[in-house]
Amino acid sequence: MTNPLLIGQGIPPFAAILPEHVIPGMTTLLEEVEQRLSVLEQSITALEAPTWEDFVEPLELISERIGWAWGVLEHLLSVKNSAELREVHRQVQPQVIQFFNRFSQSRPIYEGFKKIRHSDAWEGLDGAQQRIVTAALRDAELSGVSLDGALKEQFNQIQMELADLSTQFSNHVLDATKAFSMTLTQPDEVAGLPSSLLAIAAQAARLDGDGKATPEQGPWCITLDFPSYAPFMQHSRRRDLREKLYRAFVSRAASGNYDNTSLIQRILELRQRKAEILGFPSYGSLSLTRKMAGDVTRAEALLEELRQKSYPFAQQELEALREFARSQGEQQPLQHWDIAFWSERLRESKFEFTAEELRPYFPLEQVLAGLFGLIQRLFGVQVVPADGAAPLWHPDVRYFQILDEQQEPIASFYLDPYSRPMEKRGGAWMNDCLGRVRRRQGTEVVLRHPIAYLVCNQSPPVDDKPSLMTFGEVTTLFHEFGHGLQHMLTHVDFAGASGINNIEWDAVELPSQFMENWCYDRATLMGMARHYQTGETLPEHYFQKLLAARNFMSGSAMLRQLHFAMVDLELHHRYDPKGTETPAQVRSRLAAKTMVLPPLPEDQFLCAFSHIFAGGYAAGYYSYKWAEVLSADAFAAFEEVGLDNDGAIAQLGRKYRQTILGMGGSAHPMAVFEAFRGRQPSTEPLLRHSGLLVSAS
């Protein structure tokens, strides 16, 4: 059998990779890389002074060989999930984790890096190479390279169990989201719902087996998938149905076959034990040693500064919402399922527009044209469609190339834009398909261009309408593209520090959040916001209202993120898994100072908090706010030269490309930021952009 998982290079042939390839392919691959690692270990041990070429590059090739196959499997699990793929993934995951443990705990490899660090050649290495070596030594120590005997065995068991629990957690959230649906058949049950949601709900009903469902006549199937859930909560006039949907949403994966409660407890126990084995008082302390903040105290100081600024605003916003609801005849005290509904009514009343009114001005093709125009204006690169030039995993996926000033290709990316709740996990993300690296192959030096995966879950095309995006979906696309730019516009030639590699986790959101600011820039917004039927540009009054509404409920939005971040740090730094308090009680305790409306007793939000229990944000959710300080300050540099000053913007954009986007993980994020801004970051631009600078009174 020719197994596509053994190709090991280039763009994966997604459609050719089947579940039956996984076990034989990964088994063969693991035997091969195990043998190659053993040979390298022997050769390095014999060398007095290993060099980059005879040690680091062969090591990278081994890592890439296994990483290519495992990376495409993890990707397919996210975008084309199936019971068959899950099962084979579950079967091979322990062996893969075992190899990664063996790789990261190799004493000969660790000693090889130490030899390079203390060799005469050290000073001759590029700054990026030095950072890679330093990080490799640190990561080996944090991966248990110094452990022996029973302790090493326990550590490796923990690593393996954590990987399995993470996959289980993610699958439970996906399954629990899929398991709930609410079918509506009566006109009064859909009162207030926008036509875009009725179309999505009728399409969902057809997928569910009712071939005659129409947006006008129903039935309508409402799900917990975000493009269905969020607009229903904002617009449904049926308070009882909002309550039903809200309670289902906040109790996802908290009972029955998909219950994540015990998984959370076990994950926290294992992370704490892992930290103790490595000599850290908490998993938070362990996690922060690899981050820009450096320690939990600094991260918490920023969160507390922002909390104190935003809490009074959030209190005022809730009181204003209560008053508005009362003025509109609402006699019941506001509950959680009322907040989105009345916020949307207040926004419409205050700014005289609805989010739905804007959708027709944001068809996906037009938004992409505007985004690509901005990229050319700022960074001098051109994005061109390359559909048909690369294999796809779904017909809706697009493929694009990025060309430099000389019209030469320098990078590519996939865009998977639409929600597919039956097989694709929720949220939006960027991941690397291939990273940039320059290496000698025989007599030639070959440059491999980077390729990114950009994945969103926006409203799909329905019937004869294209994908009409909410403004929130537009900012999400810009956000993910920011991550993609850092991966694709890197100029670092060493794999370990190119693109997003080796960037401290709390700095990695800088370029993504930076891009969101451009959605409020006149030239950018007006350049892409055109009515999909008439071609009419977004009327000026809408632009002014969008600007005015930017900071609507911003205290509440800030506080929500701070709540997530503070709960995350508390669970990973102070929480005692052996104590009497449960994770849910920790969350309730912190809610007293981070939520102005206490959570419901049955709110089991943690059971669906995939960022920290199934993603990379454990003891790192604060990174969103930490990086937002950096991104707001970086955007302030463009504001200072004048957003309509094309020459200055282009000049500054090239500097941003050269530093923030280009330098990747070749230098510490603070040094990279200072190279762009000329100073350390300030919180003032973030508070100003959020409308939280003036004192609450």
Q: Which amino acid is at 61?
A: L
Residue-level pLDDT at 38: 97
CA-CA distance, 418 to 459, in Å (whole number)? 6
Catalytic residue of the set 356, 480, 504, 509: 480
Strand ranges in 188-316 using DSSP code E only, listed in sequence order: 220-223
How far CA 416 is from CA of 75, 349, 420, 430, 534, in Å, comes to 12, 35, 10, 10, 27
- Residue whose entry in the numeric block shows the structure tokens 């809706």: 396
What integer pLDDT is reported at residue 697 of this predicted model? 36
CA 147, CA 287: separation in Å to the nearest integer? 19
Dist CA 573 CA 447 (whole Å) = 43
User: pLDDT digit string (tens) for 622-655?
Assistant: 999 999 999 999 999 999 999 999 999 999 999 9
Residue 628 is encoded by which pair of tokens? 């937002």
DSSP state of 563: H
Closest Cα to residue 250, out of 630, 650, 604, 643? 604
Is residue 439 within 8 A of residue 58, CB to CB? The reply is: no
- Is 529 exposed, middle or buried (CB count within 10 Å of its CB: 0-12, 13-18, 19+)? buried
CB-count burial class (<10 Å; 0-12, 13-18, 19+) for 580: exposed
Determine how many CB atoms are found less than 10 A away from the CB of residue 392: 15
Identify whether the C-beta of residue 221 lies closer than 8 Å to the C-beta of residue 181: yes
Listed by start position, the domains of the chain span 4-146, 180-252
Distances (CA, A) of 394 to 89, 423, 432: 20, 11, 18
pLDDT of residue 198: 95
**Residues whose CB falls within 8 Å of the CB of residue 544, separated by 6 or more in sequence, listed in order:** none
> DSSP secondary structure string, 632-661?
HHHHHHHHHH-TT-HHHHHHHHHHHIIIII
> What are the beta bridge partners of residue 432?
452
Give the max Cα distance, the chain.
Answer: 82
Determine the Cα–Cα distance for residues 677 and 656; give it in Å rounded to an integer. 9
Strand (E) or helix (H) holding 385: strand 382-385
Contact 419/457 with Cβ under 8 angstroms? Answer: yes
Q: Which two tokens stand for residue 28?
A: 């063969």
CB 384, CB 408: distance < 8 Å: no
Q: What is the 3-state secondary structure (H, E, C) of 3-34?
A: CHHHCCCCCCCHHHCCHHHHHHHHHHHHHHHH
- The answer to whether the beta carbons of residues 660 and 486 sit under 8 Å apart is yes
Burial label for 697, CB within 10 Å (0-12, 13-18, 19+), is: exposed
Tell me how far apart the alpha carbons of residues 435 and 438 are, in angstroms, rounded to a whole number.
Answer: 10
Q: What is the pLDDT of residue 76?
A: 97
Helix, strand, coil share (%) of the chain residues, nearest 5: 60, 10, 30
- Rounded CA gap, 103 and 57, in Å? 15
pLDDT for position 208:
87
pLDDT at position 694, please? Answer: 61
The closest alpha carbon to 164, from 95, 76, 252, belongs to 95
Would you call 480 a catalytic residue per the annotation? Answer: yes
What integer pLDDT is reported at residue 48 of this predicted model? 87
Residues 6+ apart with CB under 8 A from 29: 5, 6, 8, 65, 66, 69
Distance CA 234, CA 250 (A): 16
With beta carbons less than 8 A apart as the criterion, state whether 112 and 50 touch: yes
Digit-coded pLDDT (tens) for 360-373: 999 999 999 999 99
Q: pTM for the full model?
A: 0.87
Give CA–CA dist 459/363, Å, rounded: 10
Among the listed residues 172, 174, 186, 182, the one whose alpha carbon sits nearest the alpha carbon of residue 233:
182
H or E stretch including 202? Answer: helix 195-207
pLDDT digits (tens, 9 = 90+) for 173-230: 999 999 999 999 999 999 999 998 999 999 999 988 998 999 999 999 999 998 899 9
- How many other C-beta atoms can be found within 10 angstroms of the C-beta atom of residue 185? 13
b/e per residue 57-70 (b: at least 16 CB within 10 A) = ebbbbbbbbbbbbb
Residue 607 to residue 584: CA distance in whole angstroms: 9
CA distance 211 to 495: 51
C-alpha to C-alpha distance for 438 and 494, rounded to whole angstroms: 7
- For tokens 């009181």, the residue is 319
Q: Token digits for 215? A: 């947006």
H-helix or E-strand spanning residue 448: strand 444-448
Query: For residue 640, how many other CB atoms are within 10 A of its CB?
Result: 11
Cα 148 to Cα 540: distance, rounded to the nearest angstrom: 68
Q: Using an 8 Å Cβ cutoff, are 30 and 42 in contact? A: no
Q: What is the pLDDT of residue 238?
A: 97
Distance CA 627, CA 344 (A): 28
Domain 4-146 has CATH 2.60.40.1120: no
Spans of the chain below 70 pLDDT: 1, 694-697
